[in-house]
Amino acid sequence: MSTDLTVTPVAGRRDLKSFIELPFELYAGVDQWVPPLIAERRRHLDRRRNPFFRHADAEYFLARRGERVVGRISAQIDQRFNEFHDNDWGQFGFYESSDDREVASALIDAACDWLRERKRDKAIGPLDFSTNHECGLLVDGFELRPQILENWHHPYYGPLLEGCGLTKAMDLYKWSLHVSGKGDVMPIIFDLAEKLETEHGITIRGMRKRDLHAEVERFMEVYNAAWERNWGFVPLTDEEIRHYAKELRPVLDSNWAMVAETAEGETVGVGLTLPDYNQVLKKLNGRLLPFGWAKALRARKTIDSVRVFALGVKPDYQHTGIAAGLYKRHYEMAASTPQHGGETGWILEVNKPMNKAMKAMGGEIVKTYRIYEKGL
């Protein structure tokens, strides 16, 4: 390591401010990058306010050349993840750096050393902090802007990390769908959707925003059941569910939040799709004050795409065609709202049924995010 390059843990408010604001420097002038809200990032990283830290620990690191901050990274251990998967892995996240192999290597070494000292045997990432948050490194689709709750990265990040000995653990695909592509959907999708109520007594309704906390609890019950076999999944705690409900309320649109329920009122499938508020954030440069609120109110009316945040069905009901019903409702919403299309949330490359379904819906893969691993 060069004598002028140092990597140290974040110590105090000034360092945390540098950690949060580094991307604003690294991506200055890059049209695809969308500035996050600084206040939201501060809350997310706050060990007292983010319920993730009730079952996890983390350290944040800054790389400097002299006095200038040139990189950042986190290292974290999620005990709930380790217990759920019966392993001793650790994670790294929030990776950002200048195009400098020495900086990247020093950051990865710092994160891995921290995890190694705590008896972890593998590091995976980037995860900000888990697969329930922003995750993966963009490796394909650089020409597109990120959607809400996802990152954009410099193309040089992948080669830098791979040069540090990291290898692919898993790729995550994002598919694009548009109402104009409805004619490409395989007819069986709509056939299954039409039979959902008559043959199985299952109906699909919009999520009730006035009863949001209970609705989010129902959503998370399905989420934890439907995703539990997914690689990297970790179930959310009750406190995290309440936290998510609070964070999602400002961006939730009842047109795009869907609940499939039985005649008895049991929630058996959900589709939570969010208007792409990154189109709003792009105009705010990380701050709502003093004039950001006015810009946000104007810009939200122009949002023309969505992100399918999550769509799932309880295992016992996956034969009923609920997924097809949710797909059909998405096309109906795309035809009747200003958002005429969008992208799916990420789908694991090994999730063959979902990737096959997206192909049957006439979709195409437009972005790939990669989670890396490194043995410790």
The ranges assigned to domains in the chain are 5-173, 176-369
Q: Where are the alpha helices (DSSP H) in 1-144?
A: 12-26, 38-45, 79-85, 101-117
**Is 289's pLDDT higher than 70?**
no
Do 176 and 363 touch, CB atoms closer than 8 A?
A: yes
Give the mean model confidence (pLDDT) for residues 289-312. 78
pLDDT in tens, 309-366: 888 899 999 889 999 999 999 989 988 999 999 999 999 999 998 899 899 888 999 9
pLDDT value for 129: 96
Higher pLDDT, 188 or 25: 25
pLDDT value for 292: 62
Most confident of 233-242, 324-333, 363-372: 363-372
Exposed e or buried b for every residue in 164-190, given b needs 16+ CB within 10 A?
bebeebbbbbbbbbbbebbeebeeebb
pLDDT value for 260: 95
pLDDT value for 233: 92
Give the mean model confidence (pLDDT) for residues 165-176. 97
The candidate with the shortest Cα–Cα distance to 334, out of 296, 306, 364, 302, is: 306
Give the mean model confidence (pLDDT) for residues 278-288. 89
- Summary mean pLDDT of the chain: 92
Q: Domain 5-173 carries which CATH code?
A: 3.40.630.30
Assigned CATH class of 176-369: alpha beta
* Ramachandran area for residue 257 (φ above 0: left; ψ -120 to 50: alpha; else beta): beta
368 HSE (CA, 13 A, CB side): 13
Give the mean model confidence (pLDDT) for residues 241-248. 82
- Determine whether 264 is exposed, middle or buried from the number of CB atoms within 10 Å of its CB (0-12, 13-18, 19+): exposed
Please provide the distance, in angstroms rounded to a whole number, between the alpha carbons at the two ends of the chain. Answer: 20
Q: Tell me if 5-173 shares its fold with 176-369.
A: yes
